[in-house]
Amino acid sequence: MQTEGAWNEGGKGPSVYDTDKAGRKAIDWKIAIDNYHDFDEDLDLMKAMNMNMYRFQISWSRVVPDGDGKFNEEGIQFYEHLVEELVKRGIEPMICLYHFDMPLALAEKYDGFLSREVKDAFVRYGKAMIDRFADKVKYWIVFNEHNLYFTPTAYHYAGIISHNELTDNEIYTTFHHTMLAHAELAAYIHETKDALIGGMLAYTQIYPATKLPLDNFLVHKVNEFNYWNLCLVYSFGHYSKEVMQEVINRRIDMGWQTGDEMILKKGGADFISFSYYRSHLLDGTKIDETSSAIRYLNQGFLLDDALPKNEWDWAIDAEGFRYSLTELYSRFRLPVFPIENGIGWREDWDGINEINDDYRINYHRDHIQALKDAMFIDGVEVLGYLGWGLIDIPASSGNIDKRYGVVYVDSIKHDQRDMKRVLKKSYHWFKKVLASNGDDLE
């Protein structure tokens, strides 16, 4: 929904984003950057910049308009063509099956992933896409930033539109249904295809706000619930003992059914992928320890005044990126793959001069160097590095003013909508970096 546009074309059904029911105040998902009608220029820009992989989402409502009925061959053909054009240019495709845009029909009927029926519909859709594309696409992600479904704001991501004050039971149930879906699709791809499937986290490096033992312990709790719990499924096929003890202690109903344990056991991932943008502190004095640990991160969030930040107070911390890579790999021994990394900045093109985004170059230089240090000093097995993103797009919040791309999209929020692509200074820097496989960062 952040690139395609064509919200009601080609047989596509509406998603929660098309009607602003995702808990977001979207500017315009109906056009985005209009990739549905013309993605060749963008693929040519990728090729010219020496990119060799591109991650994209298949829109569930484009290929199954109501989420659980007849498949839309015209929508599937759009992705067939995209994959063919990527392969033709020597760019490895990576498919993500879900990036927050629940088919509206399923959100209205069942409240999204609160329902097992929606989980089953998603698995049906996912298996069909694997059957259709896995012979050409070797890298797969099921859920974008999967741990976000285990937070108080899970309604943003899981198609829950009836209310946004979720109980602990609802959060646990939503997460459990999505984790079962991941496990079922991981098992299916391993049984039927020669392809790799990964779990994905939204990873923010968290440090204790003080030297107090309580702050350090609560950082552990947040990591265990927000990150390690998922990674234990990816690596070993079971939830964290600590998380399941909370289920017992708090008498949480997470919708567990007979056989779920065996589903999780078969759902191992081939790699752990993640997004990384920033770090922050955790202040234990703000946390209500009588609440569920899934709420600690929201309660104890604190900015680190020692680090530089962008306008949105996202701290710039390349060392935290290295720490994230080494900790994930050392704990779970699966290859790691950062597939989102970048800095948002407010930019306006004057129509003549190149945008001088040295802040973006500096950010990526430091983070790629941190990745190299993790590999060659710490011994981390890293599969690759994907930035967010090549081209300015509406963020999942709907706001285009926070731009991440190395290519500027002109007039995206104006009436003329010419969508002109304009190269920023960082585009030329990345072209050189990628040509050298990261050896030349100057």
pLDDT at 412 over 70: no
Residue 311 vs residues 16, 199, 402: alpha-carbon distances, Å: 29, 30, 9
Q: Which residue has the higher pLDDT, 12 or 400?
A: 12
Q: Which residue has the higher pLDDT, 411 or 198?
A: 198
pLDDT at 296 over 60: yes
Q: Output DSSP code: residue 339.
A: E
> What per-residue confidence (pLDDT) applies to 416?
53
- Residue 17 to residue 24: CA distance in whole angstroms: 8
pLDDT at 414 over 50: no
Give 422's strand partners. 408
Residue 75 vs residues 57, 63, 122, 129, 202: alpha-carbon distances, Å: 13, 5, 16, 12, 29
pLDDT at 145 over 50: yes
pTM above 0.85, yes or no: yes
> What per-residue confidence (pLDDT) applies to 413?
53
Q: Which two tokens stand for residue 201?
A: 């986290």
Name the residue with tokens 């079971």: 238
pLDDT at 54 over 70: yes
Mean of the pLDDT values across residues 350-355? 94
Complete DSSP assignment for 60-84: HHHHSTTSSS---HHHHHHHHHHHH
Other Cβ atoms less than 10 A from the Cβ of 224: the count is 17
Percent of the chain whose pLDDT exceeds 70: 96
**Active-site residue list:** 145, 340
Residues with Cβ within 8 Å of residue 420, at least 6 apart in sequence: 409, 410, 411
Mean of the pLDDT values across residues 378-400? 88
Contact yes or no for 30/116 (Cβ under 8 A): no
Give 302's strand partners. 281
Percent of the chain whose pLDDT exceeds 90: 89
Q: How confident is the model at residue 17 (pLDDT cuts 50, 70, 90)?
A: confident
Classify 103 as helix, strand or coil: strand
Domains in the chain with CATH codes: 40-435 (3.20.20.80)
pLDDT in tens, 202-247: 999 999 999 999 999 999 999 999 999 999 999 999 999 999 999 9
What is the 3-state composition of the chain as percent helix, strand, coil, each rounded to the nearest 5?
40, 15, 45
| Mean pLDDT computed over every residue of the chain | 95
Q: How confident is the model at residue 401 (pLDDT cuts 50, 70, 90)?
A: confident
> What per-residue confidence (pLDDT) applies to 306?
96
Report the C-alpha dihedral over residues 174, 178, 179, 185, rounded to 10 degrees: 160
Mean of the pLDDT values across residues 372-390? 97
Handedness of CA 98, 91, 339, 330 (dihedral sign): positive
